[in-house]
Amino acid sequence: MAGFIIRRVISSFLVVVLTSMFVFALFFLGPSNPAGPVCEASGKCTAERLALIEEQMGLNESVVTQYGAFAKGIFVDRTITIGSEYECDAPCLGISYGTRGQVTDELLEKYPATLSIAIGGAMIYLTLGVLLGVLAARWRGTAADRLLVGGSLLVSSVPYYLFALLAWIFLTLQWSIFPATGYTPLTENPGAWFAGLLLPWVVIGVTFSTQYARFTRGSMVETLGEDYIRTATAKGVKSNKVVFKHGLRAAIVPIVTIFGLDFAALLAGTVFTERIFNINGVGWWALNSIQSPQDFPVITATVLVSAVLVVVANLLVDVIYSFLDPRVRMS
């Protein structure tokens, strides 16, 4: 087991390194010149000034050297020259061209908001989705089941941003059922934190739960047809217990896999959610960074963070998987 985890950590690390290299290469070999926006930002941009800035930013060096400097910054402090000199403490992901602040600091500042949205939303959609799915599987073929499956298809077919926008317009603006949305750090005011995130959670919870209800239903229907379910019934186990203890225990395993990846995607930024509900999180930040003038260090950082999240989620899924399924654990 330990060997397995170590092997997976190493391969995960390699994936992250390769992703960062790829992103780095893409931007440097691409058509846009990172020095351009910096040069324009400080008044008239002459060819000499541009060349100087390029020189200072180290853009004349080979991509390999630049990547080396970037990678080194993750472990030791470095000084970065963008027009003037900036200190960048380790772990350094660079200095934002836009704000001239350390990317790492900004990341840490924006992350709690995204994390809050993701965790709250995921808790709702996982519980709701799995519960609905189990019930639908249990009463499969009945009107309740058809209603659930049909309803879930309907919700899934509406684009998420439209759903979120309508929810915000009607539930908050028009009818004021939900409090105004926004982000207040949990440590500052838990009440405000909760109130501001309630609608985003519900919207994420409801929209995602429909998919999970369908996944769970499919997995449960398959599991309930297994021989060991019949065995449990033949032993005299109560039908609720057959469904939840024997059925769900086995049916949940594939759900965990999907959930791990979905959750990683949520964590990497919930662009629509953040824009519509006015929450300044990682998604919004990333969206801004790719708009002109492009903020190259921020883009690199957000892509890297996404890569790390996906890789870590995969790793966790595998570990959880091995705890859920003893057959994997033993081999």
The binding site for another protein (CB under 8 A) comprises 1, 3-4, 6-7, 141, 226-228, 230-239, 246, 249-250, 324-327, 330
42: amino acid identity, one letter: S
Q: Cβ 145 to another protein, closest distance in Å?
A: 12
Cβ closer to another protein: 66 or 322?
322
Torsion, CA 14, CA 16, CA 17, CA 23, rounded to 10: 140
* d(C-alpha 117, C-alpha 277), whole Å: 11
CB of 198 to another protein, least distance (A): 36
Q: Which contiguous run of DSSP H or E holds residue 79? A: strand 78-82
Closer CB to another protein, residue 28 or residue 321? 321
Please give the Cα distance from 326 to 321 (Å, whole number): 9
Separation of alpha carbons 203 and 209, rounded Å: 10
- Minimum distance between the CB of residue 326 and another protein, rounded to whole angstroms? 4
DSSP 82-117: ESEEEEEPSSP--B-TTT-SBHHHHHHHHHHHHHHH
Q: Report the nearest approach of another protein to the CB of residue 238 (Å).
A: 7
Return the number of the residue (39 or 317) whose C-beta is nearest another protein: 317
Q: What is the rounded CA–CA span in Å between residue 49 and residue 27? A: 21
The nearer residue to another protein, 3 or 31, going by C-beta atoms, is: 3
CB of 231 to another protein, least distance (A): 5
**Nearest-approach distance from CB 207 to another protein, in angstroms:** 31
Taking the complex as a whole, how short is the minimal distance between the CB of residue 220 and another protein, in angstroms?
15
Between 144 and 186, name the residue whose CB sits nearer to another protein. Answer: 144
Question: Given the complex with another protein, which of 49 and 140 has the nearer CB atom?
Answer: 140
Closest listed residue to residue 198, CA positions, set 106, 124, 284: 124
> Which residues 6+ apart lie within 8 Å of 183 measured at CB?
113, 116, 193, 196, 197, 279, 280, 281
Joined together, the tokens standing for residue 74 give 């993750």
Q: Which two tokens stand for residue 51?
A: 């060349």
Q: Considering beta carbons, is residue 146 or 249 the nearer one to another protein?
A: 249
